[in-house]
């Protein structure tokens, strides 16, 4: 979602800040702005891409200072206008603020501030912070920020500067991620490590309610009540090459093709095929509790929910343990029944998904054992869990998740086998599954060799505005994921559903030439899927099948086939989803869309 970069040091701030914003463009945004203190506070804002802000800054004076902050905004309060873009300011003391998150009590605070003479120029909740800090400012920016945040309800990551204190930058966090990069005589603050990695690999994450005062030579960390806090400076597990495009035209395509490598990293050291054993160090402390668990709830949003659904099938099928999936946004506001022996697994690429974090906290409050399946080390969900498993697939820049999804399914498979082996699965059966998992990266490489064919198939149907994606069993969630990918980046209306559900209403949508993508790999319900294919064909729909290599029979009944290698059915989603990812990518390119920055979407949804 919104991106923050702030800098204090010896170098000119503007080029460093703009470079950082460009690193955060993948998060999704609709406007951008910058503030630099150079004797006085100077602010520039624009609607559109960071490049539009750069153009506006050309020739402008006053942005030559070495203290500043900048922001990319994804609209929540107020329309996409320059007045609503960050930074927001209050000119009584020359204060500027950038903010990620939502201030829930902003309306009451705004009324109070207006009664005290403050005049607002935007419809945002963020402008309240600038006015509130200004109202409480008595010559000490750090104390004013602490006092302001004691009055605020909601989520925030903020950076604040004041022209009366040209050697001070104050940052704070609750609920939205923020980290401080520690350089040589400088500090770089960002909402994502990608913005600072080219300058320093030493950084510390802020915990909730932390406030950090930064000068050009040192930092001081407290909470909002001014109690000292000692942060832990760590080495960032990220390198510049991972966030560069290289020879690829888009990050999404790069990340699709990175899946063999990312899955090897995900599975490395976690599978003992000789002993038929899964090694998940993050879960070892709670192995007994997990073995005795009575129920598993997997909670997530979006793509992560589809991975969680596959995880549910794996846990029920392999470990014979009752499992269910929940939209985190619904789970958190229900009165969920959490019995003794309940394990709740939060699945999230970023580890900052607001609804998933809140669902996890609700489950913990009710006594559940809280686990996480997360990609970002040190993220909010990772820190709130009792234990968990990192994906280790590397940073994912494309907004439409690809390698994180297959990583989540791989980890769900490992967790399912971890539980199954401890409950009832033999070492031999577990070893067979693990050996099959070892072949997945190589098999994905084989699927990727078909990319030109998949491109040609996609281009045949790219003008059609309504698609169906259908699957059964393990590949019903894969169908949901295929439909979501197509919607996200090509803006084609697509519906994913269980193949059997089609004739209970959606079959009415099928007309001549309508594309229907069936996941029809060999498995327990193959014949049932073939019957569903016939139902679509008889009504004029054009069937595109994802089928198992060697299945020549299916080619007689469909218009187009994309083949995947054979693999045990519980592991097939990691293969079946790859052609669907490529179809979505090629559809978006053919329709001329910005693949890595789809409209209205954000990479990390840190607000409700």
Residue 529 corresponds to which tokens in the numbers above? 């899927």
Work out the end-to-end distance of the chain between its first and last CA atoms, rounded to an integer number of angstroms. 11
Asked about 603 being catalytic, the answer comes back as yes
Which of 2, 70, 162, 266 is labelled catalytic? 2
Let me know: does 72 contact 32? Beta carbons within 8 Å. yes
DSSP 553: G
Let me know: does 20 contact 195? Beta carbons within 8 Å. yes
Rg (CA), the chain: 25
Q: Is 507 exposed, middle or buried (0-12, 13-18, 19+ CB in 10 A)?
A: middle
Residue 121 corresponds to which tokens in the numbers above? 């120029």
Let me know: does 294 contact 342? Beta carbons within 8 Å. yes
Q: Of the candidates 419, 407, 532, 537, which has an alpha carbon nearest to the alpha carbon of residue 479?
A: 532
Q: Which residues of 591-603 are buried (b: 16+ CB within 10 A; e: fewer)?
A: eebebbbbeebbb
Q: Is 228 exposed, middle or buried (0-12, 13-18, 19+ CB in 10 A)?
A: exposed
DSSP 495: E
Let me know: does 479 contact 501? Beta carbons within 8 Å. no
Question: Which H helix or E strand runs over 166?
Answer: strand 165-174
List phi, psi (to 5°) of 213. -100, 120
The rounded distance, in Å, linking the Cα atoms of 87 and 122 is: 11
Torsion of CA 554, 555, 558, 560, to 10 degrees: 130
Which of 110, 174, 403, 603 is labelled catalytic? 603
Tally Cβ neighbours within 10 Å of residue 336: 18
Q: Are strands 560-564 and 542-548 parallel, antiparallel or unpaired?
A: parallel
Residues 6+ apart with CB under 8 A from 58: none
Question: Which H helix or E strand runs over 534?
Answer: helix 526-537
List phi, psi (to 5°) of 168. -135, 135
Asked about 460 being catalytic, the answer comes back as no
Residue 392 corresponds to which tokens in the numbers above? 């280790």
Q: Of the candidates 175, 176, 149, 167, which has an alpha carbon nearest to the alpha carbon of residue 213?
A: 167
What is the layout of strands, in order, in the sheet containing 542-548?
A: 493-498, 466-471, 515-520, 542-548, 560-564
DSSP string for residues in 416-446: HHHHHHHHT--HHHHHHHHHHHHTHHHHHHH
DSSP string for residues in 69-104: EEEEE--SSS-SSTTTSSPEEETTTTEEEEEES-BT
Name the residues annotated as catalytic.
2, 603
């Amino acid at each position: 979602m919104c991106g923050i970069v702030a800098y204090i040091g010896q170098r000119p701030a503007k080029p460093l800040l703009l470079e950082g914003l460009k690193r955060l463009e993948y998060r999704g945004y609709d406007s951008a702005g910058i503030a630099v203190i150079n004797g006085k506070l100077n602010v520039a804002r624009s609607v559109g891409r960071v490049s539009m802000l750069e153009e506006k800054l050309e020739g402008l004076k006053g942005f030559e200072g070495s203290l500043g902050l900048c922001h990319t905004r994804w609209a929540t309060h107020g329309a996409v206008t320059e007045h609503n873009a960050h930074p927001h300011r209050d000119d009584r003391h020359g204060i500027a603020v950038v903010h990620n998150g939502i201030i829930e009590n902003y309306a009451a605070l705004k009324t109070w501030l207006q009664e005290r003479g403050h005049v607002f120029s935007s419809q945002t909740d963020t402008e309240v912070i600038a006015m509130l800090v200004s109202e409480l400012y008595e010559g000490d920016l750090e104390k004013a920020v602490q006092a302001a945040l004691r009055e605020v309800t909601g989520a925030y990551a903020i950076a604040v500067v004041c022209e009366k204190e040209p050697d001070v930058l104050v940052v704070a966090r609750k609920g939205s991620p923020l980290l401080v990069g520690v350089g040589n005589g400088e500090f770089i603050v960002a909402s994502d490590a990608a913005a600072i990695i080219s300058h320093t690999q030493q950084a510390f994450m802020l915990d909730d309610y932390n406030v950090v005062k930064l000068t050009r030579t040192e930092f001081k960390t407290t909470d909002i009540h001014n109690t000292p806090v000692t942060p832990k400076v760590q080495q960032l597990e990220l390198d510049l090459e991972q966030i560069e495009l290289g020879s690829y035209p888009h990050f999404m395509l790069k990340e699709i093709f990175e899946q063999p490598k990312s899955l090897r990293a995900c599975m490395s050291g976690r599978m003992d095929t000789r002993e038929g054993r899964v090694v998940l160090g993050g879960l070892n402390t709670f192995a007994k509790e997990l073995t005795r668990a009575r129920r598993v709830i997997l909670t997530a949003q979006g793509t992560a929910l589809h991975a969680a659904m596959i995880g549910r099938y794996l846990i029920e099928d392999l470990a014979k343990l009752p499992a269910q999936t929940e939209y985190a946004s619904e789970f958190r506001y229900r009165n969920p029944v959490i019995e003794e022996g309940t394990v709740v697994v939060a699945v999230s690429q970023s580890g900052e998904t607001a609804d998933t974090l809140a669902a996890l906290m609700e489950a913990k409050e009710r006594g559940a054992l809280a686990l996480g399946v997360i990609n970002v080390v040190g993220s909010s969900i990772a820190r709130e869990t009792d234990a968990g498993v990192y994906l280790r697939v590397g940073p994912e820049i494309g907004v439409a998740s690809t390698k994180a999804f297959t990583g989540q399914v791989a980890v769900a498979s490992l967790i399912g086998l971890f539980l199954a082996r401890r409950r009832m699965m033999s070492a031999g059966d577990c070893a067979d599954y693990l050996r099959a998992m070892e072949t997945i990266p190589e098999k994905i490489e084989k699927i990727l060799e078909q990319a030109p064919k998949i491109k040609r198939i996609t281009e045949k149907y790219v003008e059609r505005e309504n698609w169906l994606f259908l699957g059964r069993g393990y590949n019903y969630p894969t169908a949901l994921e295929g439909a979501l990918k197509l919607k996200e980046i090509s803006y084609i209306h697509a519906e994913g559903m269980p193949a059997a559900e089609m004739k209970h209403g959606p079959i009415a949508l099928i007309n001549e030439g309508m594309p229907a993508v069936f996941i029809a790999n060999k498995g327990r319900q193959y014949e049932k899927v073939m019957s569903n294919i016939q139902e679509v064909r008889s009504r004029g729909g054009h069937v595109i099948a994802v089928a198992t290599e060697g299945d020549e029979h299916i080619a007689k009944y469909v218009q187009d086939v994309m083949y995947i290698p054979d693999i045990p059915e519980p592991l097939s989603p990691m293969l079946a989803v790859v052609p669907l990812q490529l179809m979505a990518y090629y559809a978006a390119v053919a329709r001329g869309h910005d693949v890595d920055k789809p409209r209205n979407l954000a990479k990390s949804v840190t607000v409700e």
